[in-house]
Structure 1
Amino acid sequence: MKSFFNMALLLFSMASFSQYKISGYVTDTNNQKLQGVAIHVEENNIETTTDDSGYYEINALPKGQNKIIFNYIGFETKSEMVYTDKAIQVLNVQLVEKEQHLDEVIVSTLYNKIQSQNVMKVEHASVNSLKQKGATTLIDGLATLPGVAQIATGNSIGKPVIRGLSGNRVLVYSQGIRMENQQFGEEHGLGLNASGIESVEVIKGPASLLYGSDAIGGVIYFNPEKYASLHEKVTLLEQQYFTNTQGTATTFGFKASPSNFKFLVKGNYTSHADYKVPNGDRIINTRFIEKDFKAGIGFANSKLATDFRYNYNNLNLGLPEEDIENSGFRNPLFPKQEVDNHVLSLNQKLYFKNSKIEADFGYSLNNRKELEALNEIALSMKLQTASYNLKYYMPKMGKWEAIIGTQGIHQINTNFGEELLIPNAEVNDFGVYATTNFAWKTNVLQAGLRFDNRNVNTTTHGIVGEEGYFEGINKQFTSFNASLGYKTNVLESITTRINIASGFRAPNLSELTSNGVHEGSNRYEIGNATLKNEQNIQFDLNLEYKSEHFEWFANGFYNHINNYIYIAPTGAVIDGNNVYNYVQNNAQLYGSEVGIHFHPHPYDWLHFTSSFENVIAKQDGSNLPLIPANQWKNNIKAEFEYGNWFKEGFASMFLNYTFKQNNFGEFETKTNDYFLVNFALGGKVAYRKTNFNLSVNANNMLNKTYVNHLSRLKAEGINNMGRNIILSLSFAL
């Protein structure tokens, strides 16, 4: 970490205090000045807003070419390219009124285009919009997006699933660095809290070109909360109450941008009791307590931009099992997990006349313990990961853009408990890549090539022939990958995207080295040191139609995976546990997501959205396990205002139908269909000089008895949560 800080100080010392300034007015087509327009400089993440006269001013525009984005609710997003060829510039902008979604900048792809200019179709959603859908946790909100589901253990543990792939096949990024938290385990969740997260982006499909190993199924990219606008400070207090679990979530935050320096802090405390199923029973030990703290400090001028972030997350959660004697109310019972997660990240950008360098450095410490009883630590693993990601954006040549980069991680796993799931190990990744983007008229062509190398080195532990023996290994995994994408407007209102990409995943430590009972699965698992890379190729087709009052989309995909790794029974039994081996075979996944968005004129306040998604997954003629059932999601939303005291009001009715899952894996059972009704109501209340947001969500409003096919409690005959009403109140001071 010391080297990271030394590098940051060096980069600061290189900075010149000369500034490039830009200012102007933002109006509508009737030349009316617009107050509160959000203005974002993409290069160094500086933000400001127009004042009551529609005027804005930015005093630290980076050197070279800049994209400035103007966002205003009810108006079409507009981006302007500005080149800093003089110290002071004037840019007046006119926005066109239009009732459709804002075109967000996509951060998870290399070129950071707005979605309409992006070759890849990326799902984007703000955390606030996920909360309006009644999400209890961050992963609950993700599961409302098309093509995304979750493998859940009660209310506390959720693992994301993208088009049927999960675990180490889905890479999670937060604060610009990859999250490493022993995600191979079935009972290991994200370890992230929604507090302090601005939005999420989901890449569905292989993204190994961008991120290397483990992005074979896709990427979930969490964008941290933005700093306050220049010369502003904001204090936030938010309180939530959940009726089903009698849970509470309290959030406090403060951020300010007094000058080129900016900072923020945010803390959250969440506590849930056991959740209740529709018949009134509580599922013992599904309770959990979570503490989360985030902090950031940034600096930006015309030569550089720096963003340093820290996140501490502590999760104390119960593990539901049979014959647990209930006691207390909120404190988790034994067996339980205690997980500490520390994440530090440094994002650094240096601007030159026609190019720039961007670097991300990260360090994470995941300390995971499983306790069977008081002072009895059965499992204790400490995972330390240092990572880097360096990108050089080459000078733009006409319509051509190009990036070259390198990425890598250094990871150490150390055991301290009585039991070992995986041995002590060291993992080193190194990757290099190059990509180019060519745009003309409404067409964009993007291509890239990448090479990766992973080295896995483990230590020998235990006695040969006994449970808990791990033979040391030293394995090398290499892979070349490529991607090719094309986007065009076949008509003015119809956009087509076609992508072909390959991806890979090196076997994880559990698959290579396991030798013992995995308590979370009640299986004796034996690893396979001869496993090869999983290697896939996926074809994606996206069609979108957008008009002023009607939109539709259709996504289709086919994913072929060579050497797909899965676990299969051997027929043997050790100490009363069935023995399973890790083996490989080819697999195929294919499916689609289709949907519409309709807001009829002149009733522009009314919105109707509907989407259908399905995945079919096969290997060697049989179904893959943990594949989500087909879903049909519908939402009717009304937007309204009442007088001068209730603004930005909304009322939503969610009608979601999940089909029967008859395509179940060899060790699964079919799951019945079910229909859920959710409701949401909220808005901004103005009382005297105080403004606050108020919302009410009712999930499973009809108290339907059901079980999700991906619930890990399904095998125990335990249903999903019953009716849950969520009350939210937040103040921004």
Structure 2
Amino acid sequence: MKTKIFFLLLLAVNSFIYAQNNLQGTVTNLVSGEPVIGATVYLPGLEKGELTDLEGRFMFNNLPTGNHKIVISSVGFSTFSDEISIPSSGSFDLSLKPSAIEMEEVIISTPFHQLQSDNVMRVARENVSTLSRKGAITLTDGISQIEGVESLTTGLGIGKPVIRGLSSNRVLVYTQGVRLENQQYGDEHGLGISSKGIESVEVIKGPASLLYGSDAIGGVLYLNPERFASSNATEAEVDANYFSNTQGYQGSAMAATSGEKLKFLARGSYATHSDYETGNGERVTNTRFNEKDFKAGIGYQDQKYKGDLRYNYNRSNIGIPEEMGVQSTDKEPLLPFQEIDNHIVSLDNKFYFRNSSIDFKVGYQFNDRREYEDEHGHEEEEENHEEEINGEEEANEGEHPALEMHLETLNYNLKYNFTRFGKFETIAGIQGMYQTNSNFGEEILIPDAITTDFGIFATTHLHFEKWDFQGGLRYDFRNLESTEYGHDQEEEFIPAIDRNFNSINGALGAKYDISESINARLNLASGFRAPNLAELTSDGAHHGANRYEVGDSNLDNEQSFQLDLSVELRNEHFETYINVFHNNIKDYIYLNPTGEMIDDDLVFQYTQNNAKLYGTEIGAHIHPHPLDWLHWETGFELVHGELEDGKNLPLIPANSLTNTFRIELEGEVVKKKYAFLRLKNVFDQNRVSIFETRTGGYSLLGAGFGGTFDLNGSDLQFTISGNNLLNKTYISHLSRLKPDNVANIGRNISVSLNWFL
């Protein structure tokens, strides 16, 4: 008898330990009562999502006990957001209200994973597929279509994000949940990430040091990787793109499969482009580039734990344009060119408890940057022996890199999320980075160095019926230690440095729902940036920029304070918003011409002065009901930047106005048909720094159309789009080729096919 009782108790305990928390339900149309097929049901805190089936049903298994947010969204319906308790009693059935308002998505880059309409901080978000169907050639080309974001370019293959006039080390890029470190201080150093395998882009505009530490003084570009397949499903995708201007093509293939707990995906991509052609018919020599990219992920999730292991390898070969020369459609870069290998490994661990969770992310990156140059441009003694060894030099030209830098970075981020503490939701954590830079080439841009970061922070969110408040504090410490290069009496001597930097920063924001359709946001935030190695140690010619740069080892932190105010209105007929910002930066670091010349190069000294940037973004989207298929979007962007003495900051984007008309229709043979017509007007940029050239205004016309064929259970999506259709000859103010009067890309027609299996 005792044995039986013991056995029954053991069975009961075992059943309790391994009992699964499930959630199931049905999503229907509030008006017609029909099931909503393909609706996204998402649990943001768990980063777990499912799609409704043909009967509108969904099911989650292995959910942790506690209170969780749930978001249900579908095109043509108002997005639903609420909180549920797990385990739940009964089925979770919901009727969505039809609406012409654009479907909302959950914002991942902010700490509490909320819908944009619930977020205290306004964050710009775009799906990469949307940017691609507008004709974007690269990822940086695509992000320049987001309001408040531009790209600093050297041809098409090299692009750097510019957020409200700030770029390089003032803008952080996050991918796979970890900060991207790829020598981003350099003007000719691009992202090194393929758009394939990136699901969406989020942009935090303004200081984000509270969440991300040093270098987020201008904002954050957050790249969300594509998701795993739904539970117990297998997916595949093959796509191909052709670009007429560069005679370039891009191909990608993806496969993903998911069981109840274990998930896997892999994607391989290849792209190659010739020199781009300007509006006047010239090809810009050595703007050609090619790229190989591989991404893979393994995921696991049960009731108490979620793990996401990701790996990305990218090999880029990018020509560096110097002068207009040979007219060719070859795709192999000429000298000089960069060859870059970038490896990113990240592991995201989440442990779930009742009403709280721990998130521990760790990432490792290895960036191998090699630059090959013409042999005749190296040392004078080699020139003296050119006749003697000319044949050998020609044979070995480009064989060994003139510049080779290995950058290894270890990141970690530990956060504890109190999902409930009265009316507060609070996150506390620590972040850190350990980084080494090593040189192996004959040229040195920055010395061998070790960078160590440590930060501790806390942020909280308080929700009321009409008010939301969010705030936090953070302390950061950075140690930067470099080794001596050369000897004291040599011309290229770089002394060792050992500097400590620290800063305390905070943020406070509020959102108020003035009415059901109008809300206002006010955010105050401080941020900081420690000077980088180039600013501290430079003492030599920068051939790509045709200048001699001199650093200052005594530079201090940049410290910023930004005020950001936005008002947004949304109803079934239109949406409109206005953002105004003012960003004060103390001890802004910039290059200042000294008037001296060294070896025919003008000397520029890194120095500091207070600066300010201010401007606005205004937008509207009209979709009059019942003509829900008709859309008109307009957006205006303005940013000014100046030093305390009134001089203009360099590389500030010109003001612009963009208008887009588009139609979206459903059909039987061709589903999700669309067409658009876009006109972008860029104004004169006369507010330039003392060593910049002015640029004139221009207008660019773009158009496109596409749709989706249903092929017996698989979808074939096609897109045809054109940019600069009138083949305008123009020069962007953020093009690094403008001093040589080299125009930007002319007319480009892109064709894309995506087959979803």
Q: Which moved more, 1:368-377 or 1:648-657?
A: 368-377
- Give the distance between the partners of 2:659 and 2:448, measured in 1 at CA: 48
Q: Which amino acid aligns with 2:578?
A: A
- Give the distance between the partners of 2:637 and 2:20, measured in 1 at CA: 50
TM-score, structure 1 as length reference: 0.96
Partner of 1:579: 603
Task: Map Cα deviations across residues 268-313 of structure 1 (whole Å, 9 max, x no partner).
Answer: 1000001011121111100001000000000111101100000000
Q: Which moved more, 1:325-334 or 1:695-704?
A: 325-334
- Give the distance between the partners of 1:707 and 1:324, measured in 2 at CA: 19
**Residue 668 of structure 1, aligned match among 684, 692, 707:** 692
Partner of 1:84: 86
Matches within 5 A, 1:278-677: 278-322=279-323, 329-372=330-373, 373-619=397-643, 620-642=645-667, 644-677=668-701
State the secondary structure of the residue aligned to 1:623.
coil
Instruction: Tell me which structure has the larger Cα radius of gyration.
Output: 2
The CA deviation at 1:28 is 1.3
Q: Does 1:184 align with 2:190?
A: no
Q: Which moved more, 1:181-190 or 1:53-62?
A: 53-62
Partner of 2:160: 159
The CA deviation at 1:580 is 1.4
CA contact (8 A) 1:18 1:302 kept: no
Q: Which moved more, 1:495-504 or 1:314-323?
A: 314-323
The CA deviation at 1:729 is 0.4
Partner of 1:683: 707
The CA deviation at 1:505 is 0.1
CA contact (8 A) 2:285 2:324 kept: no
Partner of 1:31: 33
CA contact (8 A) 1:356 1:393 kept: yes
The CA deviation at 1:156 is 0.4
State the secondary structure of the residue aligned to 1:543.
strand
**Residue 74 of structure 1, aligned match among 76, 80, 87:** 76
Task: Map Cα deviations across residues 439-463 of structure 1 (whole Å, 9 max, x no partner).
Answer: 0002101110000000000000112
CA, structure 1 residues 16+390, in 2 after alignment: closer, same or farther (shift >3 Å)? farther
Partner of 2:46: 44
- Give the distance between the partners of 1:285 and 1:511, measured in 2 at CA: 29
**Residue 716 of structure 2, aligned match among 689, 692, 698:** 692
- Give the distance between the partners of 1:531 and 1:56, measured in 2 at CA: 57
TM-score, structure 2 as length reference: 0.93
State the secondary structure of the residue aligned to 1:240.
strand
Task: Map Cα deviations across residues 392-421 of structure 1 (whole Å, 9 max, x no partner).
Answer: 012512321111110000000000000000
CA contact (8 A) 1:303 1:350 kept: yes
The CA deviation at 1:259 is 2.1
- Give the distance between the partners of 1:55 and 1:151, measured in 2 at CA: 47
- Give the distance between the partners of 1:520 and 1:28, measured in 2 at CA: 59
The CA deviation at 1:66 is 1.3
Q: Which amino acid aligns with 1:174?
A: T
Q: Which amino acid aligns with 1:606?
A: L
Partner of 2:220: 219
Q: Which amino acid aligns with 2:68?
A: N
Residue identity (%): 48
The CA deviation at 1:572 is 2.0
The CA deviation at 1:132 is 1.9
Q: Which moved more, 1:496-505 or 1:108-117?
A: 108-117
- Give the distance between the partners of 1:250 and 1:226, measured in 2 at CA: 20
- Give the distance between the partners of 2:494 and 2:61, measured in 1 at CA: 59
- Give the distance between the partners of 1:573 and 1:49, measured in 2 at CA: 64
State the secondary structure of the residue aligned to 1:706.
coil
CA, structure 1 residues 106+688, in 2 after alignment: closer, same or farther (shift >3 Å)? closer
Q: Which amino acid aligns with 1:307?
A: D
The CA deviation at 1:324 is 5.2
CA, structure 1 residues 480+392, in 2 after alignment: closer, same or farther (shift >3 Å)? same
Partner of 1:11: none
Task: Map Cα deviations across residues 245-265 of structure 1 (whole Å, 9 max, x no partner).
Answer: 000000000011122111100
- Give the distance between the partners of 2:745 and 2:17, measured in 1 at CA: 57
Q: Which amino acid aligns with 1:435?
A: T
- Give the distance between the partners of 2:363 and 2:604, measured in 1 at CA: 36
Q: Which amino acid aligns with 2:463?
A: A
CA contact (8 A) 2:531 2:556 kept: yes
CA, structure 1 residues 719+17, in 2 after alignment: closer, same or farther (shift >3 Å)? farther
Partner of 2:61: 59
The CA deviation at 1:689 is 5.3
- Give the distance between the partners of 1:577 and 1:18, measured in 2 at CA: 73
Q: Which amino acid aligns with 1:588?
A: K
CA contact (8 A) 1:44 1:300 kept: no
The CA deviation at 1:687 is 4.2
The CA deviation at 1:325 is 5.2
Partner of 1:8: none
CA contact (8 A) 2:69 2:82 kept: yes
CA, structure 1 residues 681+395, in 2 after alignment: closer, same or farther (shift >3 Å)? closer
CA, structure 1 residues 328+698, in 2 after alignment: closer, same or farther (shift >3 Å)? closer
- Give the distance between the partners of 2:476 and 2:710, measured in 1 at CA: 55
State the secondary structure of the residue aligned to 1:129.
helix
State the secondary structure of the residue aligned to 2:420.
coil
- Give the distance between the partners of 2:353 and 2:201, measured in 1 at CA: 30
- Give the distance between the partners of 2:90 and 2:177, measured in 1 at CA: 32
- Give the distance between the partners of 1:537 and 1:613, measured in 2 at CA: 21
Task: Map Cα deviations across residues 202-261 of structure 1 (whole Å, 9 max, x no partner).
Answer: 000000000000000000000000111111111110000000000000000001112211
CA contact (8 A) 2:494 2:537 kept: yes
The CA deviation at 1:342 is 0.2
CA contact (8 A) 2:207 2:219 kept: yes
Task: Map Cα deviations across residues 121-141 of structure 1 (whole Å, 9 max, x no partner).
Answer: 000110011112211111111
Equivalent pairs counted in the alignment come to 717
- Give the distance between the partners of 2:587 and 2:698, measured in 1 at CA: 35
State the secondary structure of the residue aligned to 2:434.
strand
CA contact (8 A) 2:275 2:328 kept: no
Q: Which amino acid aligns with 1:503?
A: G
Partner of 2:170: 169
Q: Which amino acid aligns with 1:44?
A: L
- Give the distance between the partners of 2:268 and 2:19, measured in 1 at CA: 36
- Give the distance between the partners of 1:676 and 1:196, measured in 2 at CA: 29
Q: Which amino acid aligns with 1:231?
A: N
The CA deviation at 1:547 is 1.0
Unaligned runs of 5+ in 2: 1-15, 374-396
State the secondary structure of the residue aligned to 1:491.
coil
CA, structure 1 residues 626+323, in 2 after alignment: closer, same or farther (shift >3 Å)? closer
